[in-house]
Amino acid sequence: MFSYRHAFHAGNHADVLKHLVLIATLRHLMLKPPAITLVDTHAGAGLYRLDGDFADKGGEAEHGVVRLFAAQRPASGPAPASTPLLDDYLDLVAGFNPSGSLRVYPGSPFVIQQLMRHESRDRLKLFELHPTDGKTLSANIAQLDAGRAVVVKREDGFEGLKPLLPPPADAKGSRRALVLIDPSYELKSDYAKVSACIQDAIKRFATGTYVVWYPVIPRTEAHDLPRKLRGHAQRAGRPWLHATLAVGHPPLAPDERPGLTASGMFVINPPHTLSAALAETLPLLVKVLGRGRGQGHTLESGEG
């Protein structure tokens, strides 16, 4: 159960999609002043070296965030057409690389932390079970000197989420929460756990914003997950949004495997601005990151 290391995949096309959705969602939620309880159930190490051994072995960032930067932030000549959401994402990543060379990629914990508001007393809870990544995450977070605002727990995020919902109320009785659920799905049981987790979370706190990442792969469980999540949202009378990004793959040799070519994001109680932001950004991602047969995107949403 401790074999997965996100460092091999950091900055790939799936991270690009996940973090674009996360940024767009957080930006909107933070327009209102009440504090937000933020939870990442599978936090990973938090920060990743794009020039380290893990990235060299996987090379996935080269076809993700590195390619995106090269296309959208060229060293010379005019910058091509972009979108506010894509610029926001690239600016955030660039902030971790002041030298101008992409060497560090922020995982979801640091994407969230960058957008937290100290004046509103936002709180971030991070869960990571992997012993090495959990230790690295704790060390990375310690450098922030964030105190009680950011807490790392080496626990099962599915179980650790339960006592956090509903979140505590502020002085005016407002309760707000955003939960990111993005396990590795190396175990088939993760799909069922995600579905059960969302079902339970909605019962505990129906108005929370729940953001789920999942791989689009030829596996029944992966195909069924967004359908199950949509069902949970509809039965609870909550709005939802579902987006996928497929980069495709070039012709393969008989013994080659394409690796992960597509992923999806499912959001329950999404901001009303999210659909429009993705509608203008997803086609651009396909244009820049697409690499062969099967590339494309989907975007759908519905009311509860």
Cα(304)–Cα(297) distance, integer angstroms: 23
Question: In angstroms, rounded to a whole number, what is the distance separating the alpha carbons of residues 16 and 64?
Answer: 7
Other C-beta atoms closer than 10 Å to the C-beta of 196 total 13
Contacts of 279 (CB under 8 A, 6+ apart): 299
| Structural contact between residues 230 and 197, judged by C-beta atoms closer than 8 angstroms | no
CA 247 distance to own-chain centroid: 17
Is residue 45 exposed (0-12), middle (13-18) or buried (19+ Cβ within 10 Å)?
Answer: buried
Is-catalytic flag, 91? no
Contact 216, 64 (CB under 8 A): no
DSSP assigned state of 48 = E
Helices 108-115/131-142 angle, 10° precision = 20
| Residue 291 and residue 63 in contact, taking contact as beta carbons nearer than 8 Å | yes
Across 44-128, where does the E strand assignment appear? 47-49, 104-106, 123-127
Per annotation, catalytic residue among 182, 190, 200, 255: 182
| Residue 153 CA: distances (Å) to CA of 30, 39, 42, 189, 285 | 24, 11, 10, 22, 34
d(CA 26, CA 36): 10
31 Cβ neighbours under 8 A, 6+ residues apart: none
Q: Kindly give the residue spans of alpha helices, DSSP state H, lying in 36-146.
A: 53-58, 65-72, 84-95, 108-115, 131-142
Q: Which residues are catalytic?
A: 182
